[in-house]
Amino acid sequence: MTEAKLAPNLPDWMRDHAQRYLSSGGTEGHLYRITPPGHPEMTVPSLLLTTTGRTSGQRFIFPLFYGREGDGYIIVASKGGAPEHPGWYRNILADPEVEIQVGTARLRARARTAAGEERARLWQRALEFWPPYAEYQQKTEREIPVVVLDPVT
């Protein structure tokens, strides 16, 4: 398998965060302290998602905030409320087999988009770990996807 690299065009703060996470082996960066505009400072759990590029076939790493769902994890394809889905989400639609790093633990997972009642329930959970998602949803006409990462053994 080819070695993964940080996704291109990440904002500086995301790139710096991911580099700290990777260089420490996950001992730093799992819990990310941030003060989003209009919100108090918060500490948010983050993971590193590795996807396979839908056109390049290269493996890319994306730092994302997450919540727990049973044995799995939930992530949100918000892209800050942009009109289009983030690249990582388009990648998992093409190939849902991913790798994740949560702290120092690395595992394989299968990504799936939540729908209906499950999405509504998980969206509420996502708002608990990252309240700005509500503002992102107001900025865009697309329904922001909630993705479940189910571990694969």
CA distance 10 to 64: 11
Please list, in sequence order, all residues whose beta carbon lies within 8 angstroms of the beta carbon of residue 56, skipping any fewer than 6 positions away: none
In sequence order, the β-bridge partners of residue 50 are 61, 99
What does the pLDDT read at residue 27?
A: 93
121, HSE (Cβ side, Cα atoms, 13 Å): 8
pLDDT band at 8 (very low <50, low <70, confident <90, very high): confident
The hierarchical CATH code for the domain 5-151 is: 2.30.110.10
Whether 51 shows a pLDDT value over 60: the answer reads: yes
CA distance 14 to 16: 5
pLDDT band at 37 (very low <50, low <70, confident <90, very high): confident
What does the pLDDT read at residue 63?
A: 96
**14, containing H or E segment:** helix 12-23
Whether 26 shows a pLDDT value over 80: the answer reads: yes
Which sequence spans correspond to the domains of the chain?
5-151
For the segment 24-49, the average pLDDT, to the nearest whole number, is 93
What does the pLDDT read at residue 2?
A: 59
The pLDDT tens digits of the residues spanning 98-122 come to 999 999 999 999 999 999 999 999 9
Q: Burial level of 9, CB count in 10 A (0-12/13-18/19+)?
A: exposed
